Amino acid sequence: MANEKYKITVTKDHLVFCSGHFISYENSKCERIHGHNYRAKIEIEGKLDENHYVFDFIALKHRTKEITDLLDHRMMLAKNNKVIEVREEGTRVCVKYKEKEWIFPAEDCVILPISNTTAEQLALYIGKTLLESLKKQHNYTPEILRVEVEESFGQSATCELQG
């Protein structure tokens, strides 16, 4: 019997999120606030199930869209950043880097459990969140999950997680 390996990929125009962010560089500087029109691409590797699927495309698109919708039209802030302080104060989020301070409406922010809002860390966040969602909602854990986050055409980062 052959050692078969299968992979499915989803990347659609609706798996996008338009978000603001800034990145810090280990005490040396902090970027200006800016944004991107991000696109997510998901790859799953695994064995075929009883229906001869690795996993259902429609369900994978829905689970991914649930995550990208949480990021869409939000200011993305890294909760675990060593040099940027993020504080929730009622209806606002206060952010401080050295002498710079920003105040955002809380409803316009998403505070992520990552250390920086780089494309790499966003891919990690989407990947971990997607793994949890697939397990909880479908009792499914892929052998390998790859998440690619493109922040502009031709510029992306990929995170690979083992199920």
d(CA 25, CA 106): 25
| Per-residue pLDDT tens over the stretch 15-24 | 999 999 998 8
Sorted by where each begins, the domain ranges of the chain are: 6-73+118-162
Angle, vertex CA 24, rays to CA 110 and CA 82, nearest 5? 80
The overall pTM is greater than 0.85: yes
Q: Give the architecture-level CATH label for domain 6-73+118-162.
A: 2-Layer Sandwich (3.30)
Q: What is the pLDDT of residues 37-69, one digit of tens each?
A: 999 999 999 999 999 999 999 999 999 999 999
Question: How would you class 143 by CB atoms within 10 Å of its CB: exposed for 0-12, middle for 13-18, buried for 19 or more?
Answer: middle
Residue type, 155: Q
Tens digit of each residue's pLDDT (9 = 90 or more) over 147-161: 999 998 899 999 999
